[in-house]
Amino acid sequence: MALYQEQSLKIYNSMSGEKEIFKPINEGNVGMYVCGPTVYSNVHLGNCRTFISFDLVFRYLKHLGYKVRYVRNITDAGHLENDADSGEDRIAKRARLEQIEPMEVVQRYTIDFHNILEKFNNLPPSIEPTATGHIVEQIEIIKTIIEKGFAYEVNGSVYFDVKKFNKSYHYGKLSGRDLENMIANTRELAAQSDKKNPQDFALWKKAEPQHIMRWPSPWSDGFPGWHLECTVMSTKYLGEEFDIHGGGMDLKFPHHECEIAQGEAATGKSPVNYWLHANMLTLNGKKMAKSTGNNILPEEIFSGNNDVLDKPFSPNVTRFFMLQANYRSILDFSDEALKASEKGFNRLMDAYHALEDLPTSKKSSLDIASWKQSCYDAMNDDFNSPILIAKLFDAVKMINNIKEESASISTKDKGMLQETMRVFMFDVLGLLDKVSEDNDTSEKLSSTIELLIKLRAEARNNKDFALSDQIRDQLQEMGIQLKDGKEGTTFSIK
């Protein structure tokens, strides 16, 4: 029997505003789509929080025994500034400013995105499609939506007719908005606008002469609207109806609302059963924004090269910090919070490694089976990672009590405790073992010292004894002792 048959998982569905028992469309299989980054700059820390949140969801579903197809897109065209239907493409703008090709911008920041998520120990998605790789499919779905009467073409651009769509469906049901109120609170369209109504959004935009990124279509040389790619790629790889769609809270309106409208207009079906939204990350109590300077990049956290934190923090500790809040809660990033997380992380890892040498008794005074189920209960309650972490710290107390002989544990229960901690710390939360991380640091340190020993030997061969002595003396000041012998130079760390 698969674990998912024993555990009852509840997910908070943004569509209903309630926690619902999770039942996939096809038993044992889960289709999950998450909106990925627009690759025009280094990945934002707030975005990283979203992707870590859905990595947790992915990991737990896999742990429960589901076969998960996780699709996360790369937006490499069509996302205009300020999420508008006019203006400059974000990627094209960066390409113009840096005087490089748009696809150079895409390549550079896609690599950065992957590198950062790898440092955070995120699992890669099953499929990572790009907007530019699906232009043909986007053109085809626009044709379908036009044929069904929910879109119109003006001067080479195609717009979705929200007012007409709302007569048969409900535009605004995800975000809880009423179209009549939206219309009443909107200014009149500018005279030069091609739209019938202000709420209408672009499915295809005719490219201005200066617009670099363009493709041929039945309507014009142009590019697809930003919302369209997600409808196309989610349905192509997961079907017209699939289980989970995730993204940041800021995407609920208009992006996800437009996705629903496009899907329903094209197929007549509601595309998603469970909508999940991760909340925002603030910095020292204020919204993160590059424009105000209240911003920090992941690499600046790891290197310590920033004006916000007193010291560097590893990706491991930063990930642990983010998981200490439920994905639907606002999380404030600060130096104090990260320092507290680092202490907690080290305490948790030390307790886990102390388990190996823990003495056992014939009988347990602890109910390990109930504690194990409480870990599942936490994750079954909408992936409640902070409660799970609290349960793991209950295990730390149990381990300390056994060490102090105020509690006892049997060999069988010790094995269960050890395995459950391993599963939830490493497989589900996605933390890396501190010992392996320390070993990695030690290997890098050894390689660096060996390089300095080689440079010192070259200096001696060149009779540059001043440099040779300087390398030896400065290493000695750092507590690294060099010893010259017949077999070469070795080192020891004091």
Q: Which residues are annotated as a binding site for Zn(2+)?
A: 35, 230, 255, 259
- Could you tell me which residues are annotated as the binding site for ATP? 290
DSSP H helical ranges for 308-367: 315-322, 335-354
Query: Is residue 180 classed exposed, middle or buried when 0-12, 13-18 and 19+ CB atoms within 10 A define those classes?
Result: exposed
Instruction: Identify the three-state secondary structure at position 157.
Output: strand
Whether 258 and 163 have beta carbons less than 8 Å apart is answered as: no
- Could you tell me which residues are annotated as the binding site? 35, 230, 255, 259, 290
DSSP string for residues in 257-315:
HHHHHHHHHHHSS--EEEEEEE--EEETTEE-BTTTTB---HHHHHH--SSS-SS---H
Q: Could you count the other beta carbons within 10 Å of the beta carbon of residue 264?
A: 19
DSSP string for residues in 54-85:
HHHHHHHHHHTT-EEEEEE-BB-S--BGGG-S
201-206: strand order across its sheet: 151-154, 157-160, 201-206, 222-224
What is the Cα–Cα distance from 256 to 238, expressed in whole angstroms? 16
Question: Before 198, cis peptide (omega within 30)?
Answer: no
Please tell me what DSSP assigns to residue 412.
Answer: H
